């Protein structure tokens, strides 16, 4: 399953330098990181609405949109899905309360 995310990351990296008129990824890059973050936030709100409405099909689509926009933002920050997976692996087996208490922020 991570192959899908790694393939998506590769595609996003390739499309960043495309013509913004032809590529959504390139158009987001041209608009800047703040716009990328805004789009991620919009998708998160739409996912919340789908969840509250118990709309499973809607939630599935919104979750995919969140993953896509998160990947666009990660790539823009020169991060990868592997960075995120490594952080999840680091947290594996920890209770959420313990993990959160260990953060310095």
In this structure, which topology does domain 2-102 adopt according to CATH?
Helix Hairpins (1.10.287)
Would you report the helix, strand and coil content of the chain in percent, each value rounded to 5?
75, 0, 25
- Profile the chain (105 residues) by mean pLDDT over runs of 10 residues: 88 97 98 98 98 98 98 98 93 75 70
Q: What is the model's pTM? A: 0.86
Cβ contact 46:65 at 8 Å: yes
Rounded Cα gap, residues 28 and 40, in angstroms: 11
Rounded Cα gap, residues 52 and 48, in angstroms: 6
Q: What dihedral do alpha carbons 42, 68, 89, 87 form, nearest 10°?
A: -60
| pLDDT for the residue numbered 1 | 61
How far, in Å, are 50, 94, 99 from residue 90 at the CA level? 30, 9, 10
| pLDDT for the residue numbered 95 | 75
H-assigned helices in 1-105: 2-15, 24-31, 33-52, 56-76, 81-91, 96-102
| pLDDT for the residue numbered 105 | 65
| pLDDT for the residue numbered 87 | 93
């Amino acid at each position: 399953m991570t192959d899908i995310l790694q393939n998506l990351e590769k595609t996003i990296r390739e499309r960043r330098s495309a013509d913004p008129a032809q590529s959504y990824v390139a158009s987001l890059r041209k608009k800047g990181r703040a716009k990328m973050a805004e789009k991620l936030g919009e998708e998160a709100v739409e996912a919340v609405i789908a969840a509250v409405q118990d709309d499973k099909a809607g939630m599935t689509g919104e979750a995919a949109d969140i993953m896509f926009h998160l990947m666009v933002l990660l790539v823009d920050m020169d991060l990868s899905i592997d960075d995120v997976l490594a952080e999840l692996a680091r947290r594996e087996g920890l209770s959420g309360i313990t993990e959160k208490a260990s953060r310095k922020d």
